[in-house]
Structure 1
Amino acid sequence: MLPYVLLFVGFILLIKGADFFVEGASNIASLLRVPSILIGLTIVAFGTSSPEATVSIIAALEGSAEVSLGNVIGSNIFNLTLVVGIAAIIFPLKVETETIRKEIPFTLLASAALLVVMGDVVLEGLSDNYITRSDGLVFLLFLAVFMYYVIEVALKSRNNSLDEPTPENITWGKNILITVLGLAGIVIGGEMVVSNGTEIAYQWGMSETLVGLTIIAIGTSLPELVTSITAALKKESEIALGNIVGSNIFNILFVLGTSSVITPLAVNGKVFMDVYIMIVLTLVLLIFSRTNFRVGKREGSILALMYVIYLVYIILRN
């Protein structure tokens, strides 16, 4: 009975934490005079990716490479389909030109890089596929390039809006506190949902592989889901989409980069199909984003349905 109670408490912490986090991050964007999309791509994305980072790094330290890799790929697929889908169904997601031209293609590049570093058997004729420490360092260098781009765009945007009046009734102290409390709620809530959801899954007789691909991947992506839904309800659609795109970039480059630097990650052959699916879904999001510069209810419904199909596929596969 206790795991069910703790699971419920975890969901409550996630929902309230995400609400605080979006509110605080939006107000900080106003104070910094930078677009909401950039806050979504950095502070919100990094914050909501923290459960993936925690789970994957702990898994790497314990030698569970499949959990580490499956968690990231499963979370990214969940983000691209159900998170974008539900957020778009609630409120059509406005897509900035820069997101189409640079940020989504960067996600595509990171996904392609992951596919390349995984392919040791095909590309180098080795007996096993590994994401090595040097591969992890390359990912972290990619992340540094992305962060440089984001900061440069933020500074340029800030310089262009220096003449605008400072927002009234918005203070630094209060919003930093709200953002930190929100982030704490997201991290603690996400951890409670994952650990107790996994325990419940084992009680129901699910296999470890299936738990990793479903419960852990979905559980660690709940912050993205709740944050993006909250942002969509508040009509902060740039934060909703920026959060998803940024989270997927952080998941591959930061989470896998850090995990593989700690210990080389062995790659299960089944995971290649999931990476192909992730790349195709990123392309689908890019195509949808180019239609009227928004992801509408129809596109959102298609993406949500794609996740249901994917879930059925991995359950049958395993």
Structure 2
Amino acid sequence: MVYLIFLVAVIVTVVSATKLSTYADAISRLSGLGALLIGTFLLAVATALPEVTTTVTAIYLDNPDLAVGNIFGSNHFNLLVLAVFDLFFRKRKMLSHIHRQQRYTALFGVIMTLITAIAIFATIEIPFLGVGVEALLIVALYLLSLWIIQRTAGDEEEDTFDESQEKEEKYTLKHAIIGFIITAIVIFIAGTVLTFAGDEIAVITGLGSGFVGSFLIAVSTSLPEVVTVWTALKLNNENLAAASIFGSNLFNMVILVLCDLLYEGSLLQAASMSHTVTVLLLLINSALVSYAVFSNRHRRFYTWPSLLMVLFYVLTMLWLYFF
């Protein structure tokens, strides 16, 4: 029965998050905000809502492995999505054609992951806040990335949405905002059910919360990002595709800070040491995608960073499964 509940929660989460992305996209056009800013933050936060509910619920269940595993696993899977689509559309050289502003978000993703990796081994607690110093650094970097994108949004090329692809709006701004809020509530409920079911599956199967959180739940809650990237690429919009992934990964790190605030003690140090390998491999993949964004599109073997990212994702899941 728990597997059926999990499956239904996955379907509701994916459908709702996809609808949420549609509303976010409508809000971005109707409000006149920059497409890059919307892709990196509003759309990214919208598709990351399942991670919020599942991770916070894991804290409620006093299961730090499930919480940390979900964040690391989601970020891993998001980068896998970029790598797979980059390989599939290799002739378009997607990662080398995105706006230069996205280099900042990609680089901030590397720095945030490095800070998190260090915090697993050692952290300096801030007594009056009940979190480590890494939490403040992550929040500061996230706000800095928001400021940089906002400041450079005016420089972005006006090719995020091709004029030939414009169509009559289905929603008014008010309709889009109301739909966004209602769908977010549905995702909150579905994400909570997803975590309870995942925690039960971890107990039944004996696979462990680390693997279930990093693979089963993380992949399920990251499926909206897959739909978003695929839709953006069908519209020949590499920028929206990459922005939603980079933005989601940055926001996921902020979720980790939120959960650290809710958890009694240090969340990262309470999690299993198996996550040390997970976060180190995530750091490598984050560095690889940054290299792909910064490097010359005319390199002899264009796809090698994406191929390595797929390999390291597989190694991460094997590590969690066997250890």
Do these two structures clear the TM 0.5 threshold for a shared fold by scoring above it? yes
Partner residue, 1:261: 261
Distance 1:302 1:22, change over 3 A: farther
Q: 1:286 aligns with which of 276, 287, 290?
A: 290
Contact 1:18/1:230 (8 A) holds in 2: no
Task: Report the secondary structure of 1:13's partner residue.
Answer: helix
Partner residue, 1:36: 35
Distance 1:175 1:153, change over 3 A: farther
Partner residue, 1:10: 9
Q: Which moved more, 1:109-118 or 1:14-23?
A: 14-23
Cα distance in 1, alignment partners of residues 321 and 218 from structure 2: 14
Distance 1:27 1:146, change over 3 A: same
Compute the displacement of 1:306 (Å).
Answer: 3.8
Give the share of equivalent positions with the same residue, in percent.
22
Cα distance in 2, alignment partners of residues 69 and 244 from structure 1: 19
Q: Which moved more, 1:257-266 or 1:71-80?
A: 257-266
Cα distance in 1, alignment partners of residues 29 and 21 from structure 2: 12
Partner residue, 1:231: 232
RMSD: 3.5
Distance 1:223 1:120, change over 3 A: same
Q: Trace 1:144-155 onto structure 2 (pairs within 5 A).
A: 144-154=143-153
Partner residue, 1:88: 86
Contact 1:74/1:213 (8 A) holds in 2: yes
Partner residue, 2:320: 314
Q: Amino acid of the residue matched to residue 149 of structure 2?
A: V
Do residues 25 (structure 1) and 24 (structure 2) align?
yes
Contact 2:72/2:282 (8 A) holds in 1: yes
Cα distance in 1, alignment partners of residues 304 and 21 from structure 2: 25
Distance 1:271 1:241, change over 3 A: same
Alignment: residue pair count: 299
Cα distance in 1, alignment partners of residues 52 and 24 from structure 2: 20
Cα distance in 2, alignment partners of residues 197 and 184 from structure 1: 20
Partner residue, 1:244: 245
Deviation per CA, 1:108-162: give whole Å up to 9, x if none: 11112222333328xx8x9xxxx934432343333332333333334x469x99x
Gaps of 5+ in 1: none
Compute the displacement of 1:260 (Å).
Answer: 1.7
Compute the displacement of 1:287 (Å).
Answer: 2.1
Partner residue, 1:110: 112
Task: Report the secondary structure of 1:142's partner residue.
Answer: helix
Contact 1:136/1:259 (8 A) holds in 2: no
Contact 1:75/1:217 (8 A) holds in 2: yes
Deviation per CA, 1:31-84: give whole Å up to 9, x if none: 344443321210121122222222333333554333322222222112112x21
Cα distance in 2, alignment partners of residues 285 and 20 from structure 1: 28
Task: Report the secondary structure of 1:49's partner residue.
Answer: helix
Cα distance in 2, alignment partners of residues 106 and 282 from structure 1: 10
Q: 1:271 aligns with which of 275, 286, 289?
A: 275
Cα distance in 1, alignment partners of residues 149 and 28 from structure 2: 13
Q: Relative contact order (C-alpha < 8 Å, sep 6+): which is higher?
A: 1
Cα distance in 2, alignment partners of residues 150 and 79 from structure 1: 20
